[in-house]
Amino acid sequence: MADKRRKLGFETRAIHAGQRPDPTTGAIMTPLYLSSTFAQSEPGKHQGFDYSRSGNPTRLAFETCVADLEGARYGYAMASGCVGATTIVHLLSAGDHVVACDDMYGGTFRLFDKVFARQGIQFSYLDLTDPGALESALQPSTKLLWLETPTNPLLKIMDIAALSDVAHAQGVHVVVDNTFMSPYFQQPLALGADMVLHSTTKYINGHSDLIGGVVITDDDELAEQLGFLANALGGVQSTFDSYLCLRSLKTLAVRMRAHEANALQIARFLEAHPRVDRVVYPGLPSHPQHDLAARQMSGFGGMLAVYLKGDLETARRVLSRVELFTLAESLGGVESLIEHPAIMTHASVDPAQRRAIGIDDTLLRISVGIESVDDLIDDLDRALVAR
Ligand SMILES: *Cc1c(COP(=O)(O)O)cnc(C)c1O
């Protein structure tokens, strides 16, 4: 061993962090501790757990492991990504102001715009692909900067380090929704962010069989407040879903590499296809922010967007002809999904705003799975050339 202090590799930590053989039985895998409450030997004296809303050994193993992968000490597993966002915004009080990117996950926007805005939290939404835009949007009451990068569905990239510098100069905390990249390809805390949010529904669980979220920080003070809120609000992840997420983390690295390899091949195939107008994938040199993506991320992920030549009917035809790609919302699972943002995931966005962002009738979003890439390409090619 050249250097004993060398940090263990991502793959090693994904399999071992926060876990050791069960002390009572030696079981290699962290058991499902399906207990709501825990025995105390004297009032207030227990073995670290008293009630499963405040803490559960299975959930803690997952939280410790996923936090470690983001380079942090604290994780709070939630019943969904939306509950994670809800818990974070509860750090604020009425009158506080949040600056958010204008192109974020629709459910997060709905939560801000339709729930928290009614409770007196103020929000400004802006295009933060230019870090210079942030300075003038900050107010004395600004407490939080909310970033999501790359964005959904058009994969715009925001400079986490530059934006965090501007925010921190004004004492503003930075949240990054890292759902699209997972900690394998992007680690926002190392770039300056204070909190990371994941919808574990997507890549972290990766098998499209649960809804979950996690909030991660390495800041002691934020951790104390988030831990309090997780328990007080009570939107914690179930033990069973924590078990599934913990199991999925073990293969996160190999899955992400496979998603990316397939996505890059499919992006190149589509970019050269005569029925395709334009492909948006951060790993293509044609992506307007390819250099920033390459600097900020260690890979480009499994999501891509494609503009077809034609019109809405062309898009409908392609979507009805694919066989391996399932027409469905969501993303990040081992199986490939395809969808039509204007009709499906982004239907609630005002049509004018949709056009302004670039979501038109010929746009398809693809979540590239880890099937044999030749089969995926054949499937897309058949659907594209069919009349
Ligand atoms: C899905 C998603 C969410 C919301 O997560 P849920 O688990 O569905 O509540 C938040 N952010 C992004 C980027 C997502 O893709």
CATH code of the domain in which 17 resides: 3.40.640.10
Give me the catalytic one of 177, 194, 361, 379. Answer: 177
- Considering only CA atoms, give the Rg of the chain: 21
Task: Print the domain residue range for 21.
Answer: 10-249
What separation in angstroms does the CA of 134 have from each of 3, 170, 258? 42, 11, 36
Give me the catalytic one of 105, 203, 243, 307. Answer: 105
Q: Looking at residue 223, what is its pLDDT?
A: 98
Q: Which of 214, 249, 284 is the last residue of a domain?
A: 249
Residue 124 counted as domain residue: yes
Pocket test for ligand 1, best of 101, 108, 147 (most atoms within 8 A of CB): 108
Q: Which of 215, 249, 283 is the last residue of a domain?
A: 249
pLDDT at 56 over 60: yes
Tokens of residue 137, six digits: 């949007």
202 is catalytic: yes
For tokens 């390459």, the residue is: 294
Pocket test for ligand 1, best of 151, 202, 214, 237 (most atoms within 8 A of CB): 202
Nearest CA to ligand 1 atom 11: 105
Q: Which of 219, 249, 279 is the last residue of a domain?
A: 249
Residue 2 counted as domain residue: no
118 is catalytic: no
- Give the whole-angstrom CA distance, residue 365 versus residue 338: 6
109 and 170 share a domain? yes
**Cα of 100 from ligand 1 centre, angstroms:** 16
Q: Which atom of ligand 1 is nearest to the CA of 84?
A: 9
pLDDT at 150 over 60: yes
- Give the whole-angstrom CA distance, residue 184 versus residue 59: 21
Tokens of residue 93, six digits: 């009080």
What separation in angstroms does the CA of 360 have from each of 89, 162, 241, 356, 357? 32, 31, 36, 9, 9
- Give the whole-angstrom CA distance, residue 202 versus residue 205: 6
**Cα of 47 from ligand 1 centre, angstroms:** 34
Q: Looking at residue 1, what is its pLDDT?
A: 42
125 is catalytic: no
Q: DSSP alpha helices (H): ranges in the chain?
A: 10-16, 57-69, 81-89, 106-110, 132-137, 160-169, 182-185, 220-233, 239-249, 252-271, 290-296, 312-321, 351-357, 373-385
Tokens of residue 223, six digits: 């951790």
Mean pLDDT, the chain, rounded, equals: 96
pTM of the model: 0.96
pLDDT in tens, 268-322: 999 999 999 999 999 999 999 999 999 999 999 999 999 999 999 999 999 999 9
Helix (H) or strand (E) holding 305: strand 303-308
Q: 41 versus 3: which is more confidently predicted?
A: 41
Q: Looking at residue 4, what is its pLDDT?
A: 63
Query: What share of the chain has pLDDT > 90, as a percent?
Result: 92
- Give the whole-angstrom CA distance, residue 327 versus residue 345: 12
236 and 114 share a domain? yes
For the segment 127-140, the average pLDDT, to the nearest whole number, is 95
**Cα of 380 from ligand 1 centre, angstroms:** 26
19 and 90 share a domain? yes
Q: Looking at residue 248, what is its pLDDT?
A: 98
pLDDT in tens, 216-234: 999 999 999 999 999 999 9
Pocket test for ligand 1, best of 110, 149, 175, 199 (most atoms within 8 A of CB): 199
28 and 117 share a domain? yes
Q: In total, how many domains does the chain have?
A: 2
74 is catalytic: no
- Give the whole-angstrom CA distance, residue 114 versus residue 108: 10
Q: 105 versus 371: which is more confidently predicted?
A: 371
91 and 217 share a domain? yes
For the segment 30-48, the average pLDDT, to the nearest whole number, is 96
Question: Which residue, 97, 95, 112, 96, is CA-closest to 148?
Answer: 112
Q: Which atom of ligand 1 is nearest to the CA of 200?
A: 7
